[in-house]
Amino acid sequence: MKEKIKNSELYLDSVLGKKSGFSTSKDYFDDVEEHFFIALAENAIPKKDAFSTPTSYFNNLEDSILDSLKSEKKNIKVISLKQKFYKIIPAAIAASIALFISINYFNKENIETRFDNLAETDIETWFLENSSSITSEDIATFVSVDNMNMNDFAYTNIDNDLIEDYIIYNDNTTLLNEIN
């Protein structure tokens, strides 16, 4: 770079003929912090109490607060819902009795439960969903053995080879557990 740059500090000092615009004493910055904190401490600590409370202020404070609360009591109008509730009760009772009578009067058809109009798939679906709570004793109470035929249980024809494969490949203990 050029040795004489017009905006450099040394060049400006040489042109103006002075070293610096400000001057301080030799140990000014060493002692300024101490002088600052000493002056701050002297001004911060008050010579006498700025605030004072009356002699029996805290003894009477609670009483004065309670007196101010008592004097602020306002007369508030209260609307009683009890009277309106008592007026509505007879109308509600009359409406419920009328509803009960009309439901029983207009719904006199004897509806018998018939399983003829249920689809077989609906019955199977219900049985599969609720089979965890139904035991074999429950089924035995509703199904009579006298009217049963072996053809009633033959929904599909199972091949003998499939039965043999099932017995061969499955553990025998599971079959014994199924029998019990």
DSSP 95: H
Lowest mean pLDDT among 12-16, 81-85, 117-121: 12-16
∠ CA 68-74-77, rounded to 5°: 160
Tell me the percentage of the chain whose pLDDT exceeds 90.
Answer: 7
Give the max Cα distance, the chain: 134
Summarised one tens digit per residue, pLDDT across range 15-52 is 666 666 666 777 777 777 887 888 777 776 666 766 77
Q: How far apart are CA 72 and CA 132, in angstroms?
A: 70
Q: Which DSSP string do the residues of 41-94 spell out, in sequence order?
A: HHHHS-SS-S----TTHHHHHHHHHHHHHHHT--------HHHHHHHHHHHHHH
CB 169 within 8 A of CB 161: no
Summarised one tens digit per residue, pLDDT across range 81-108 is 888 888 899 999 999 999 998 888 777 6
What integer pLDDT is reported at residue 158 of this predicted model?
77
Summarised one tens digit per residue, pLDDT across range 133-173 is 777 787 778 777 777 776 766 666 778 898 888 888 877 77
This prediction has a pTM of 0.23
